[in-house]
Amino acid sequence: MISRIPIIELFLSIISLWWAFICFVNPHLFDRLPELYLVFAEISQEKGWGCIFIVAASIKVLGILLQKSWMRRLGLTMSAFLYGLIASGFILSGQTLSHSTGTYFALSVLAIWGIREVMDRDA
């Protein structure tokens, strides 16, 4: 039997790692765009968010490598929450009709779809 490559999870992991990179490299990211990152700044600093994004990506990748469906679902749930939070941040900052709002909302829906697609036999 040929196993499927979990493209959705790998794609979302790459985006999570990119966000982690952005948060670690730009320690004053939230200061430069305070209206956009208001929600994020209230919860943690940039490095804290970088760690959260690394954890989300790592859980998905480890779930794939270790063939653990519960880890894959957990990682996808984290991605759905994180990307939903990013989309909400754009909305709360008054950038409702921004391309980023729609993009991150779509990524959140994609993560939710991925949770549905992870089946115990695929782990």
Residues in contact with 1: Cβ distance below 8 Å, sequence separation at least 6, in sequence order = none
Higher pLDDT, 108 or 38: 108
Helix residue spans in 66-98 (DSSP H): 69-92
Burial code (b: 16+ CB inside 10 Å, e: under 16) for 103-123 equals: ebbebbebbbebbeebeeeee
pTM of the model: 0.86
Other CB atoms within a 10 A radius of the CB of residue 94 amount to 10
- To 5 degrees, how large is the angle CA 85–CA 16–CA 53? 70
Confidence of residue 123 (pLDDT cuts 50, 70, 90): low
